[in-house]
């Protein structure tokens, strides 16, 4: 007699990874939250979204990287792998704490009513008020409050000291100047030059340290609020860091740079589904031999810091833990490059021992080889299955009836069109029309989608699949079209700006999603481990 799969209810705390448990969640970046100050932050709308997740029966809130944004306001081009985005510090919570007045947080209607993230305008409004809150805190803080700040600064000094100085120097030098264009003494980090800079920029350094302290306090409050509602947080760790980041300036020996700090090679990916010429990211590549000699100390510190904020992590571009696409520094596209092997197995082995486990999700999209799959499976990491990829010829691994249990199914990612946009799209340049239409017909036939509410049919297929975890971009839950797309890879502007309106997060939508999660045993109260 053949037995079917066994479903075992087990207390979540006993599991090796929370991603081993049957569950569901929503992908929404902090910037996409509603709110009065131009883009989302860690204030009341974030707490309201946690309430919506609970009502909708969701066990996960997935976010994009939460560090300071870089070029094009991209969260993947951050000035720090450790700092939180100071522009996510809630002015409303600073007002609650007595550091800002009512009239000071009252934003122009153009910011409060904006349906898109208005980063530049929000920055002009937020920063003077962040500076004012810091000045008042410096004058009024009680002894216990100062002690709390001092403990934070001491515990995080290993990254905070460099970051706060870097941020102050970057302000002084201007946003158009990379650290490699600073004075030779500062580029080389000569102790006397650093000491002079710390003395001259003491006030701005204090501001940046204070904002990290406030970010940490507000983040911990949000995480505790989510935890109380049985909502776990899923973070995102980019494989590479920005060239203009504090981490590269502070650890030049860990990156492929010349004596003047210039990049010797660039990171990217070869031509793939997203781009016929590949993607030239421009990040500096690691000196893996140096990292390995240090016991991967920088990476382990990074994992610990992000896991202090999140319950599990998505390892972006997991392929990069096996091999990286190395492009010459002067190349104009990613076509001309070569693969270099990476000691990812050694790194992940040390991480598992040091962290007591690896609650990681492998973003295993793109040119995935058998070696990449073997690395993922050696550490029992779930991979990603994206429904939009499942219905073209040769993409059978993404068909729902072929999913392994140890996987996370998505309707789409932040780099895809929305589900409804994808279903209604025209063939992109270079794609044969007949094959494109056949792919879409197969998707609709497979899902059994009707003429209305097609997005719910795809959501149902994902929820009923055997994949342990199902994650949906909020745009797909709401059935939004291409105008709600978060990012178009390879385009320098117009991305990362979609926001949800508070009126869109309705009770009927939450109840419908909760009912479907209940039917397919994905509610937090039904959390189960399914073994073959």
Percent helix, percent strand, percent coil in the chain, to nearest 5? 45, 15, 40
Q: Is 415 a catalytic residue?
A: yes
Q: Are the CB atoms for 342 and 324 separated by under 8 Å? A: yes
| Sign (positive or negative) of CA dihedral 62, 65, 67, 70 | negative
- Alpha-carbon distances, residue 150 vs 135, 139, 160, 246 (angstroms): 17, 15, 12, 22
Region class of 30: left (phi > 0), else alpha (psi between -120 and 50), else beta? alpha
- Alpha-carbon distances, residue 264 vs 244, 278, 326, 442 (angstroms): 14, 19, 10, 46
Q: Is 20 a catalytic residue?
A: no
Q: Catalytic: which of 297, 415, 457, 521? A: 415
296 alpha-carbon distance from chain centroid: 22
Q: Catalytic: which of 20, 247, 363, 364? A: 363
- Alpha-carbon distances, residue 381 vs 19, 324, 359, 361, 366 (angstroms): 9, 20, 8, 6, 17
Task: Supply angle C-alpha 490, 316, 117, rounded to 5.
Answer: 55
Residue 248 CB partners (closer than 8 Å, separation 6+): 179, 241, 242, 255, 257, 284
Task: Name which of 503, 499, 504 is nearest 39 in CA terms.
Answer: 499
Q: Are the CB atoms for 310 and 84 separated by under 8 Å? A: no
Cross-strand pairs, 469:
23, 408
- Phi–psi pair at 468, nearest 5 degrees: -60, -40
Q: Are the CB atoms for 484 and 498 separated by under 8 Å? A: yes
Q: Is 236 a catalytic residue?
A: no
Question: How many C-alpha atoms does 416 have within 13 Å on its Cβ side?
Answer: 23
**Residues taking part in catalysis:** 316, 363, 415
């Amino acid at each position: 007699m053949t037995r079917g799969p066994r479903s075992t209810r087990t207390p979540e705390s006993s599991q090796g990874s929370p991603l081993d448990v049957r569950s569901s969640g929503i992908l929404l970046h902090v910037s996409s939250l509603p709110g009065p100050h131009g883009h989302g932050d860690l204030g009341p709308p974030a707490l309201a979204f946690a309430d919506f997740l609970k009502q909708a029966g969701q066990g996960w809130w997935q976010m994009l990287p939460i560090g300071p944004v870089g070029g094009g306001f991209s969260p993947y081009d951050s000035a720090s792998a450790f700092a939180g985005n100071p522009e996510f510090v809630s002015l409303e919570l600073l007002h609650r704490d007595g550091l800002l007045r009512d009239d000071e947080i009252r934003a122009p209607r153009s910011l409060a009513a904006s349906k898109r993230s208005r980063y530049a305008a929000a920055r002009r409004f937020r920063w003077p008020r962040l500076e004012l809150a810091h000045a008042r805190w410096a004058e009024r803080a009680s002894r216990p409050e100062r002690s709390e700040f001092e403990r934070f600064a001491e515990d995080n000094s290993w990254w905070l000291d460099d970051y706060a100085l870097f941020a102050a120097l970057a302000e002084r030098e201007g946003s158009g100047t990379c650290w490699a264009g600073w004075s030779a003494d500062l580029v080389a980090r000569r102790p006397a030059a650093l000491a002079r800079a710390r003395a001259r920029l003491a006030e701005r350094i204090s501001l940046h340290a204070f904002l990290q302290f406030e970010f940490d306090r507000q983040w911990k409050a949000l995480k505790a609020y989510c935890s109380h509602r049985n909502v776990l947080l899923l973070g995102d760790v980019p494989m590479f860091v920005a060239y203009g980041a504090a981490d590269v300036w502070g650890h030049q020996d860990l990156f492929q740079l010349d004596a003047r700090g210039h990049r010797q090679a660039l990171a990217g990916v070869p031509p793939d589904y997203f781009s016929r010429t590949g993607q030239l990211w421009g990040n500096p590549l690691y000196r893996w031999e140096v990292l390995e000699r240090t016991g991967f100390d920088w990476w382990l510190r990074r994992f610990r810091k992000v896991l202090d904020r999140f319950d599990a992590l998505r390892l972006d571009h997991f392929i990069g833990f096996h091999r990286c696409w190395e492009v010459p520094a002067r190349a104009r596209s990613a076509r001309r490059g070569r693969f270099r092997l990476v000691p990812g197995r050694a790194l992940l082995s040390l991480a598992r021992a040091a962290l007591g486990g690896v609650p990681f999700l492998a973003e295993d999209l793109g040119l995935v080889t058998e070696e990449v799959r073997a690395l993922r499976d050696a550490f029992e990491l779930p991979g990603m299955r994206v429904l939009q990829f499942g219905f073209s010829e040769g993409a059978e691994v993404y068909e729902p009836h072929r999913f392994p249990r140890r996987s996370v199914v998505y309707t789409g990612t932040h780099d895809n069109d929305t589900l409804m946009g994808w279903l209604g799209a025209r063939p992109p340049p270079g794609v044969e029309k007949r094959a494109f239409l056949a792919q879409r017909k197969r998707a609709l036939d497979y899902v059994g989608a009707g003429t209305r509410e097609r997005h719910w049919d795809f959501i149902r297929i994902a929820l009923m699949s055997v994949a342990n975890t199902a994650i949906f971009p909020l745009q797909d839950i709401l059935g939004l079209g291409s105008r709600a797309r978060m990012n178009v890879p390879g385009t320098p502007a117009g991305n990362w700006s979609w926001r949800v309106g508070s009126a869109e997060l309705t009770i009927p939508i939450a109840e419908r999603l909760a009912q479907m999660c209940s039917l397919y045993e994905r509610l937090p109260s039904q959390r189960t481990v399914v073994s073959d």
